[in-house]
């Protein structure tokens, strides 16, 4: 199977490249894509760079140019749900764009005509992740992720997004990747390890914990590849 593994930052993909060691690097459309053989799978790996536009571009290229049949996203996020702590793993069952705003025309926040507010991920991949978590003895949370082009480190913004979307965490790429996968009919899985709690001083927690949290997420995604 051809499996795309996408992250937003080098820290989110480097642990995988270090483990794989042998890979081919292809430069395309102002980014680098890494092709590797892993057991019975062909992997296409990349970090998209931060934000919805960059992740949309990379996800589309991985599917259209490199012919990925499944896409797994690995990375970090800010926790909204008080039950989520730094280092915890969260798999998204659905995602929304919290900064998509045409409420001036009477539409709900996160909605534009032709799309739904929430985009769902693949139920079979999510179930597979639960199997992996059980085997590893790791607690895996499942919930809603809100995506937007802003690093949230403000309690007021955090409270509003959580209230409107019932979001458990926020990040800057997941919903756009899921939307691409839905449109192109490719199963999609979004996994995030909590790097901060998205409130006051979240930027300091992020800097401290991003590498460890990203590594936790990346290792888990590779375990999912073992089961596909």
Spell out the per-residue pLDDT of the chain, length 228, in tens.
999 999 998 888 888 998 888 999 999 999 999 999 999 999 999 999 999 999 999 999 999 999 999 999 998 899 999 999 888 999 999 999 999 999 999 999 999 999 999 999 999 999 999 999 999 898 999 999 999 999 888 889 999 999 999 999 999 999 999 999 999 999 999 999 888 776 555 555 566 666 676 778 778 888 999 999
Backbone angles phi, psi at 207, to 5 degrees: -60, -35
Domains and CATH numbers, the chain: 2-227 (3.40.50.1580)
Question: Is there a catalytic annotation at residue 196?
Answer: yes
Catalytic residue among 173, 196, 197, 205: 196
Angstrom CA distances, 156 to 104, 152, 192, 200, 228, stand at 21, 10, 23, 10, 41
Contact indicator for 8, 173 with CB cutoff of 8 Å:
yes
Catalytic residue among 12, 88, 168, 171: 12
First to last CA, the chain: 8
Question: Is there a catalytic annotation at residue 12?
Answer: yes
**What sign has the CA pseudo-torsion 59, 60, 61, 62?**
positive
**Which residues, listed in sequence order, are joined to residue 72 by a DSSP beta bridge?**
5, 189
Tally of CA atoms within 13 A in the half-sphere of 202 that contains its CB: 25
Q: What is the pTM of this model?
A: 0.93
The Cα–Cα gap between 20 and 12 comes to 14
pLDDT per residue over 80-117, tens digit each? 999 998 889 999 999 999 999 999 999 999 999 999 99
Q: 2-7 and 41-47 as β-strands: parallel, antiparallel, unpaired? A: parallel
């Amino acid at each position: 199977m051809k499996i795309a593994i996408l992250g937003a930052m080098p820290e989110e993909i480097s642990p995988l490249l270090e483990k794989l060691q042998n890979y081919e690097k292809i430069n395309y459309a102002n980014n680098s894509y890494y092709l590797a053989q892993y057991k019975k799978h062909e992997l296409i790996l990349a970090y998209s760079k931060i934000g919805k536009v960059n992740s949309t571009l990379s996800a589309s290229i991985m599917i259209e140019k490199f012919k990925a049949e499944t896409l797994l996203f690995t990375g970090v996020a800010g926790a909204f749900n008080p039950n989520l702590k730094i280092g915890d793993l969260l798999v998204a069952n659905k995602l929304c764009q919290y900064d998509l705003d045409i409420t001036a025309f009477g539409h709900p926040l996160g909605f534009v005509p032709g799309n739904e507010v929430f985009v769902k991920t693949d139920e079979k991949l999510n179930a597979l992740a639960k199997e992996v978590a059980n085997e590893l003895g790791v607690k895996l949370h499942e919930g809603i992720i809100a995506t937007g082009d802003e690093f949230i480190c403000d309690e007021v913004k955090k409270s509003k997004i959580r209230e409107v979307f019932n979001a458990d965490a926020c990040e800057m790429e997941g919903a756009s990747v899921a939307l691409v996968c839905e449109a192109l009919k490719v199963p999609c899985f979004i996994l995030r390890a909590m790097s901060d709690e998205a409130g006051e001083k979240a930027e300091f927690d992020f800097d401290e914990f991003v590498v460890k949290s990203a590594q936790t997420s990346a290792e888990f995604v590779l375990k999912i590849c073992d089961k596909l």
